[in-house]
Each structure stands twice: as C-alpha cells, then as structure tokens.
Amino acid sequence: MTNYFSDLQNKTVIVTGGSKGIGKHIACSFAQLGAHVVIIGRSEEALERTLSELKVFQGHHKAIQMDVNDIATMRKKVDDIVDEYGLVDVLVNNAGVNIPRPALEITEEDWDKVLDTNLKSSFFLSQAVAKYMIKQKAGRIINIASQMAFVGYVKRAAYCSSKGGMVQLTKALAVEWAPYHINVNAVAPTFVETEMTAEMFKDEAFQKDVKSRILLGDLPKPKDISGAVLYLASNLSDFVTGETLKVDGGWTAI
C-alpha cells in the first residue's frame, strides 16, 4: 500500500503563526511526518511550548520569535534558515489577524494592521522564500486564506478584503512562478474550533448563526485544515497550482 505523504519526510517547512491554533496543528502534522519544521510567531512563550511538542518527533525543528510585519528582519531570517537548512521546500503563510468591527467604526490603523499582517507580510515572505525556490527549481507555497474571500460577513470588511486579496495573490504568484516548478495554492477554512475562537463562540447567537450556514452542521477541527495543507504540500498535488481549496463544510456552496 502506498505510504501517502512519505515524500514530506526530511523536507524543510516554514509555518508562520506556528505556535498556536491552526498553525500549531499544521506544524505538528509536518513534524509527525518527519519534516524539519521552523515555526515563526510573536509570543516567545507560546513558541517554546510548541517547539517542545515538535521535538517529540524526529527532525531538526526551530522556533523564531518575530513580527511578520517587520519585513527587513523577516528577509534576514529567511536567509538564516537557508544557511542552516540548505533550502526551503514548503512555506505555509498562516499568520493572520482579525479586528471585528462595524465598517463605519474601522480606523485606518485597524485597516493597515489587518491588511499588513494578512496580505502584505504573506507576499514579502513568499518573495523572500521564492528567491531560493527558484534556484532549486522546486517548492510549495500554501496561503491560509478564508471562506471570507468568497462571502461577506458582518464586522469583517478589512478581513474579507485581506483574504480576497490573498486568493488573487495566490493566482498571480502561481502564474509567475510555475516555470520554476513552484506550486502556489491556498486553503480557505471557515471558522475553526480552536482556543483562539473559543471566546467569540461564547456569544450563543453568533455561534448559532455560524453553524446554521455550515451544511455539515458543525465547526471543523484544526486537523481538517492540516489535512488540506498536507495534500497541497505533497506530491499528491503535483499538478495543482493557483487553486484555493475551501474547507468550509459547504458554507460557500449555497
């Protein structure tokens, strides 16, 4: 029987926002399959906790404390990673932020923070990594977008804009970098059950509204998102690029 995902063993994988929630599960899933995982995040404490979990699995794992909006530092860190690991096989742009606020109340600072974190940083990190992927004529870039790239929702004007931009960025980079055998794709989850969304789901009316829009009737778990990411990182998806895989339980099917 074919050992699916065995090709991910010994691959070097960078996961931004890799210390918590979906990013943490993605990082651990790669480590479990024998990849070398570099997680990037802002909280040193959370990074160290997650790194200790990664080290249960064989591989050369590393945590880097950094704000992805610091583009100059980010470029330097990518160079350092390549110096240490030799190459980067997979980049997962997972870092993101949302400031849920009515459109009339969104400030310029709110808008810039959401767009810079969710979209701008993903582009410039992809650019920094692609420089090396082009030389090695291989690579996978996976952007964590959102179903909100395809539908609107209240208090999410900036967030929807950032994720819609990420879907288009995915297509643009896929077109430009295809000649170098770099596959660029995205995963678009619905609301996911994590410790970070637990607070918002204490609002029973909000929880009821969200679940009423998901055809499968419940929230996905982080493993559901990790499965999509692993598929796009593996040789199972060799002929897939410029695509956004929705993991939304059918929300956008209606």
Query: Looking at residue 3, what is its pLDDT?
Result: 84
Paired with 214 in beta bridges are none
Catalytic residue among 4, 132, 153, 159: 159
* Contact yes or no for 16/92 (Cβ under 8 A): yes
- Alpha-carbon distance 217 to 156, whole Å? 22
- Alpha-carbon distance 200 to 206, whole Å? 8
% of the chain exceeding 70 in pLDDT = 99
pLDDT digits (tens, 9 = 90+) for 81-106: 999 999 999 999 999 999 999 999 99
pLDDT digits (tens, 9 = 90+) for 186-222: 999 999 988 778 888 899 999 999 999 999 989 999 9
Query: Looking at residue 187, what is its pLDDT?
Result: 98
Provide the b/e sequence for 98-120 (b: ≥16 CB within 10 Å): bbebeeeebeeebbebbbbbbbb
pLDDT tier at 2 (50, 70, 90 boundaries)? Answer: low
231 is catalytic: no
pLDDT digits (tens, 9 = 90+) for 6-61: 999 999 999 999 999 999 999 999 999 999 999 999 999 999 999 999 999 999 99
- Alpha-carbon distance 254 to 252, whole Å? 5
Query: Looking at residue 198, what is its pLDDT?
Result: 82
Query: Looking at residue 196, what is its pLDDT?
Result: 73
Distance between start and end Cα atoms, the chain:
38
Query: Looking at residue 245, what is its pLDDT?
Result: 98
Is residue 1 predicted with pLDDT exceeding 60? no
Helix (H) or strand (E) holding 33: none
Query: Looking at residue 235, what is its pLDDT?
Result: 97
Please provide the CATH number assigned to the domain covering 7-246. Answer: 3.40.50.720
Question: What average pLDDT score do residues 224-242 get?
Answer: 98
pTM: 0.97
> Residue ranges of the domains in the chain?
7-246
